[in-house]
C-alpha cells in the first residue's frame, strides 16, 4: 500500500513537470524569444514564496474550520445526551418554580414551523426576562433525589475535553452542581428561614437561566442538522404539560 502511494506521488510529480515543460515549450514557439521566456520564468519563481504563503494560510484556515466543526459536532452530541438524561426533566421540574410560568411556556413552545427568527426571539426573551423563582411553592425532595442520582453522570460530562469549547454549557454544569450541593446539604426543607429560601431561589434561577437558553440553542441545532431528532424533541417538549411522542397526521 505504501509503495503504491509513493509510486502515485512520483507519477503525479512527473506529470506536473511534463505539463510545465509542454506549456513553456508552447510559449517559446509562440514568442520565439528565450530571453523573454526566461524573464517570465524568473518573475514567476520570485513570486513563488508569496504563492506558498497564501496557499498555506488558506489551507490552515480550512483545516482549523473543519477541526472546529468536528469539535462542535462532538460537543452537540454530548449536549444531546445531557438533555436526554437530565436536561429535559430538569427543565420541566424547574419550570414549576417559575412565577408566571404560563407566559414563559408560551415563548418556549417550539414547533416544526420555527425558523431562525423564532429561535432568536425566544433567546432574546430569556435574556431580557427577569424570571422570578419561588421554591417554597414546590416540593424539593424529589428534585434533590433526582439530581443526586445523576451526579455521577454530570461528573462524567465534565471529564469531556470538548466542553472547553463551550463555556456557556460548562457554566450550566457548574450551576447544576452547586444546586445539587445546596439541596443535598439540607436534610429537610421545612421551616426554612426566608434568607435560606431566597438563596435556594437564586441557585434555581441561575440553573434555569442557563438551562433554558442552552435548550433553545440545542433545539435550533436539531432543527438545522437533525430534523428527525428535532421532530421527536418537539413532541416531547418539556414546556408542554402533557407531551405525547405519538405522531398524528
Going from N- to C-terminal start, the domains of the chain cover: 2-62, 88-235
* Contacts of 207 by beta carbon, 8 Å cutoff, 6+ apart: 90, 94, 172, 175, 176, 179
| pLDDT tens for each residue of 67-123 | 777 767 778 888 889 999 999 999 999 998 888 778 888 889 998 889 999 999 999
Q: How far apart are CA 172 and CA 169, in angstroms?
A: 5
Rounded to 10 degrees, what is the CA torsion of 20, 21, 25, 27? 20
Closest CA to 237 of 214, 219, 217, 210: 219
Q: How far apart are CA 93 and CA 147, in angstroms?
A: 11
Q: How far apart are CA 142 and CA 138, in angstroms?
A: 10
Find the mean pLDDT for residues 204-230: 92
Find the mean pLDDT for residues 197-203: 91
- Entry pTM: 0.73
Q: How far apart are CA 87 and CA 218, in angstroms?
A: 11
Structure-model confidence comparison of residues 63 and 97, the more confident one: 97
| pLDDT at position 217 | 92
| pLDDT at position 4 | 66
Closest CA to 118 of 127, 105, 126, 107: 107
Burial 30-46 (b: 16+ CB within 10 A, else e): eeeeeeebeeeeeeeee
Helix (H) or strand (E) holding 192: none
Instruction: Please report which residue ranges of the chain form alpha helices under DSSP H.
Output: 2-31, 34-82, 88-95, 101-107, 116-128, 141-149, 151-158, 167-184, 194-225, 227-235
| pLDDT tens for each residue of 150-191 | 999 988 888 877 776 678 888 999 999 999 999 999 888 888
Report the length, in residues, of the chain: 249
| pLDDT at position 22 | 72
Find the mean pLDDT for residues 116-134: 91
| pLDDT tens for each residue of 7-32 | 677 787 788 677 777 766 676 666 66
The CB density around residue 159, as the number of other CB atoms within 10 Å, is 7
| pLDDT at position 5 | 63
Residue 71 corresponds to which cell in the numbers above? 469539535
Amino acid at each position: 500500500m505504501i509503495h503504491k502511494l509513493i509510486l502515485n506521488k512520483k507519477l503525479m510529480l512527473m506529470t506536473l513537470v511534463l505539463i510545465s515543460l509542454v506549456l513553456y515549450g508552447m510559449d517559446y514557439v509562440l514568442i520565439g524569444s528565450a530571453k523573454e521566456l526566461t524573464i517570465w520564468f524568473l518573475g514567476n519563481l520570485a513570486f513563488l514564496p508569496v504563492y506558498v504563503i497564501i496557499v498555506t494560510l488558506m489551507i490552515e484556515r480550512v483545516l482549523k474550520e473543519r477541526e472546529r466543526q468536528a469539535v462542535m459536532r462532538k460537543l452537540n452530541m454530548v449536549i444531546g445526551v445531557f438533555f436526554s438524561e437530565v436536561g429535559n426533566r430538569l427543565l420541566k421540574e424547574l419550570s414549576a418554580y417559575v412565577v408566571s410560568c404560563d407566559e414563559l411556556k408560551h415563548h418556549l413552545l417550539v414547533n416544526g414551523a420555527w425558523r431562525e427568527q423564532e429561535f432568536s426571539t425566544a433567546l432574546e426573551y430569556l435574556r431580557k426576562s427577569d424570571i422570578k423563582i419561588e421554591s417554597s411553592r414546590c416540593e424539593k425532595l424529589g428534585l434533590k433525589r433526582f439530581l443526586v442520582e445523576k451526579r455521577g453522570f454530570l461528573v462524567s460530562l465534565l471529564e469531556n475535553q470538548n466542553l472547553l469549547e463551550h463555556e456557556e454549557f460548562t457554566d450550566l454544569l457548574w450551576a447544576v452542581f452547586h444546586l445539587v450541593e445546596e439541596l443535598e446539604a439540607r436534610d429537610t426543607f421545612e421551616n426554612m428561614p426566608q434568607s435560606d429560601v431566597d438563596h435556594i431561589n437564586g441557585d434555581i434561577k441561575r440553573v434555569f437561566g442557563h438551562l433554558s437558553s442552552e435548550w433553545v440553542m440545542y433545539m435550533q441545532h436539531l432543527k438545522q442538522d437533525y430534523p428527525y431528532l428535532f421532530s421527536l424533541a418537539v413532541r416531547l417538549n418539556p414546556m408542554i404539560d402533557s407531551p405525547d411522542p405519538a405522531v398524528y397526521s
